[in-house]
Amino acid sequence: MPAEKYSIIIIPEGHRRTHRFQVNRNWARLLAAVLVVAVLMVSGLVYHCCRIQMDRAELQRLRTERRSYQQELRQVAGQLETLRKDMVVLASNDTKVRLMTKLAKPVENVSVGIGGPVETDPVRELSGVQRQIDDIRQDIDLRRESLEELQGALNDQRSLFAARPKGKPAKGWVTSGFGVRKSPFSDGNKMHCGLDIAARTGTPVLAPADGVVKRVGTAPDYGKMVVIDHGYGYQTLYAHNSKLFVKVGQRVKRGDQIAAIGNTGRSTGSHLHYEVHLNGVPIDPRKFL
């Protein structure tokens, strides 16, 4: 049978008298329970204090990271705004170049500058920056397509410019123009399909445009002659030469020597007979001098 009471004996050092206390069993149990609860409460309080300190440190770290993030986000937003303004300038230049090259119409959906302070809400800030990034990507795609179109148009114009005859093919003075004239070999009038440029025999004859030599040979009326196909419907003919320096199929550039002025064929003196044909029809070479 368990005891009803517990004795607590206190023995001091030396020869002092001992002290003895008796505690009822129920009170002892209550005291033990109180001690356990107290220990648990103190432990919980200590844990809670430690947790608060850790949360404070974590909160401070998050606040620092948030400020750093907002600062970086503002810098990125500023850079994106600068890039957007540059894109607007490029779009304007694109339109000007298109007008200069006479293309059909400028690229549509050109972006415009959007300014103002950055939002304070990080979620809105990130959403706004992402929206700017998407817009700029779209603008870049438009500019790339436009650049490819402009490049193609400029290449075509460059090729057309290189193929279109320009300037006199030889130094000298014009003695007979394009059109109906009195024939130097008969009493009647006859159509003169070219331009006669008088010069000393041996004067260089130069190609007035890029092209491919289509014909090299001798004809009863033209003497030693050269025909160059320049593309885009343009062909040129050079007659009465004393010497020929090209062959069929040879590519020539504007300014290359192709022949030397002479007096071959049906001719009254040393000169170059120069013709320009467009889509097979002779036209006045003076338009290209």
| Domain edges within the chain | 5-69, 71-163, 173-288
Cβ burial of 243 (10 Å; 0-12, 13-18, 19+) is middle
Higher pLDDT residue, 33 or 107? 33
Q: Number of helices and strands (H, E) in the chain?
A: 2, 14
Kindly report, residue by residue over 8-33, the tens digit of the pLDDT. 677 777 666 777 767 677 777 787 88
Q: Which CATH number does 173-288 carry? A: 2.70.70.10
How far, CA to CA in Å, does 129 sit from each of 32, 69, 81, 83?
A: 64, 13, 10, 12
Please report the pLDDT score of residue 223 as a whole number: 94
Please report the pLDDT score of residue 218 as a whole number: 94
Closest CA to 277 of 224, 214, 227, 234: 234
Please report the pLDDT score of residue 69 as a whole number: 78
Kindly report, residue by residue over 110-145, the tens digit of the pLDDT. 444 444 444 445 556 666 667 777 777 777 777 777
Round to whole Å and give the CA distance between 154 and 162.
12
